[in-house]
Amino acid sequence: MIRFSNVSLVYPNSTTTVLENLNLEIAEGELVLVIGPTGSGKSSLLRLINGLVPHHTGGILAGEISVDGVSTREVKPGGLAHLIGIVGQNPINGFVADTVEEELAFAMEALNLPNETMRKRVEESLDLMSLAPLRSRSIATLSGGEQQRVAIASALVMHPKVLVLDEPTSALDPIAAEEVLSILHRLVHDLSITIVIAEHKLERVIDFADRIVHITGDGQTTIGSAQEIMKNSPIAPPIVHLARALGLEDAGLSVRDMRRRTQQLRDSTPLSHPRLIPVSTTAVIEVEKLSVAYGTKAALNSITTTIFDNEIVAVMGRNGAGKSSLLRSISGVNDIQTGGVKVHSLESKDLHSKVRRQTIGYIPQEPSDLLYAQSVAKECEQADKDNQVSPGTTHSVLAQLVPGISLHMHPRDLSEGQRLGLALSVVLSANPKVLILDEPTRGLDYEAKKSLTRILLEFASTFNRAVVIATHDVELVAELASRTIFLADGDIVADGPTIEVLLSSPAFAPQVAKVMSPQPWLRVRDVIDAIESKSR
């Protein structure tokens, strides 16, 4: 269906090759997963398939790419619209119409299809993606998961033979992600659509992949079955790390598979009780009867909670559960709240400039919102000046967090992980008493997540500080958080030690916990610790 022969790609004004001599043939009805570190060229590979690269972006392409016998060299992306459906990283950026139905019809109208065909196909796709109840809703009012489904549906109306998706679940909560992925799985099996998908959170997709293309970063690629690639890939989901740590011969990719193989281990270990870390008694953040409403829609209903010193608190919940509202209120920028939030007994709404910087550090969903200077060096200088610390402090923090960033780079040209690192060092140079992060892991690869975990753990323990982090990433929560607050529809539905909260909800349990249930182990490290203490 898709054939890459001797494909190499170089972008203009760049000295590195994105892809070098790639040969790949994808058969009909295959689901191919593209993995690699951020900035390694996953998106470029996807966009080569329908010719957006190089027709839209420029760049030099050598070799030949053909889809269903059509060469992308001769045909522009528009000419392949009936053959390839492409869903970008942020579907909201690609929407053109007001309502769901009109969005679905857009591509068919552009190709001048007759009205009866359009009617039939819109109905079909609405049913296929379970969107029928939302058909006349305005797109802007849909949740993230619903928008992702609309984007897929508006590609499916064209009856494409190939569907290309760039990180379709990165902004979704685990349940919405599950929904989207099971639909993709069904499309492959029922309609034999060929799917190419790029994703960082391998634990979500690896089970579905027929083959994996691993881009290693210097233009080289390895291609093979999930089993083959996972044998020695540095990028691997926790379940594969577990298999490696246990010395199993080949990597189990599904929870079911791994459970069978670890049956004996689970049964031979007496059921242990989770060790709970003692909590400090110094309250840092006091939230008192906090309510937030947008128009008539309530985002938070009278929430009361206290966060202590040296705690790392994860705030979880589905899209729209009120996580961001809670974080913004704690930071004191929600003007529409009732109730009070005190940080170190200061009303967080009344904080200004220097006192604010030294009390609350906040990393928004888009870390680049905080950055505005023309280079990394200027950004660091500005932070030094703002926080009245000795020149070079911010830069030394940055060098510790993410070594090897050139000072002359523009913040925009950094990778997602590096940009988050820069924003973090700007915030941390003021040494705030509380650090708040709103979904910092979007678009981060495993390596970047690992260093984020290390940084936050160090920050909390060295300075005895509280960290509050909103995230959809259960694996990160398992590694990082000592306590988890679970929000649903503006209410706190669970609040307790991470291990208790995560184990009590099957959808939000990390992979290792699913494999090892009923043993209370969340991380690979927990399993190894348990085995070691048993053999001692």
- Site residues (vs another protein, CB under 8 A): 47, 50, 52, 55-56, 76-82, 84, 86, 88, 90, 92-98, 101-102, 105-115, 118-119, 122, 138, 154, 158, 328, 331, 333, 352-354, 356-357, 360, 362, 364, 366, 368-372, 386, 412, 426-427, 430
CB 438 within 8 A of CB 363: yes
Nearest-approach distance from CB 371 to another protein, in angstroms: 7
Nearest-approach distance from CB 89 to another protein, in angstroms: 8
Nearest-approach distance from CB 295 to another protein, in angstroms: 10
Nearest residue (CB) to another protein, 262 versus 331? 331
Nearest-approach distance from CB 330 to another protein, in angstroms: 11
Nearest residue (CB) to another protein, 149 versus 328? 328
How far is 518 from 155, CA to CA, in rounded Å?
Answer: 42
Nearest-approach distance from CB 365 to another protein, in angstroms: 8
Classify 125 as helix, strand or coil: helix
CB 90 within 8 A of CB 168: no
How far is 494 from 528, CA to CA, in rounded Å?
Answer: 28
Nearest-approach distance from CB 94 to another protein, in angstroms: 3
Nearest residue (CB) to another protein, 241 versus 357? 357
Nearest residue (CB) to another protein, 243 versus 422? 422
Nearest-approach distance from CB 293 to another protein, in angstroms: 17
Structure token pair of residue 182: 């099971």
- Cβ count near 278 (within 10 Å): 6
CA dihedral over 144, 38, 476, 293, signed as positive or negative = negative
Nearest-approach distance from CB 99 to another protein, in angstroms: 9
Residue with tokens 């919405």: 176
The two counts, helices (H) then strands (E), for the chain are 21, 20
Residue with tokens 């008192």: 288
Q: Transcribe 179-239 into DSSP letters.
A: HHHHHHHHHHHHH--EEEEE-S-HHHHGGG-SEEEEE-SSS-EEEEEHHHHHHH-SS--HH
CB 172 within 8 A of CB 144: yes
Nearest residue (CB) to another protein, 104 versus 243? 104
Question: Which of 461, 58, 445, 426 is CA-nearest to residue 237?
Answer: 445
How far is 318 from 351, CA to CA, in rounded Å?
Answer: 30
Nearest-approach distance from CB 500 to another protein, in angstroms: 32
Nearest residue (CB) to another protein, 114 versus 403? 114
Nearest-approach distance from CB 64 to another protein, in angstroms: 20
Nearest-approach distance from CB 370 to another protein, in angstroms: 5
Nearest residue (CB) to another protein, 34 versus 81? 81
Nearest residue (CB) to another protein, 235 versus 343? 343
Nearest residue (CB) to another protein, 182 versus 374? 374
Nearest residue (CB) to another protein, 47 versus 433? 47
Q: What is the 3-state secondary structure (H, E, C) of 321-358?
A: CCHHHHHHHHHCCCCCEEEEEEECCEEHHHCCHHHHHH
Structure token pair of residue 36: 């690699």
Nearest residue (CB) to another protein, 362 versus 446? 362
The helix (H) or strand (E) run that includes residue 465 is: none
Nearest-approach distance from CB 285 to another protein, in angstroms: 15
Give the strands of the sheet with 337-343, arranged side by side.
297-308, 283-294, 337-343, 346-347
Structure token pair of residue 428: 């941390």
Nearest residue (CB) to another protein, 352 versus 536? 352
Classify 246 as helix, strand or coil: coil
Phi, psi of 20 (to 5 degrees): -130, 120
Nearest residue (CB) to another protein, 219 versus 364? 364
Nearest-approach distance from CB 379 to another protein, in angstroms: 11
CA dihedral over 126, 129, 131, 135, signed as positive or negative = negative
Nearest residue (CB) to another protein, 101 versus 475? 101
Which residues lie closer than 8 Å to 199 by C-beta, 6 or more apart?
33, 34, 35, 167, 168, 169, 170, 205
CB 509 within 8 A of CB 474: yes
Nearest-approach distance from CB 427 to another protein, in angstroms: 7
How far is 277 from 84, CA to CA, in rounded Å?
Answer: 52
Classify 512 as helix, strand or coil: helix
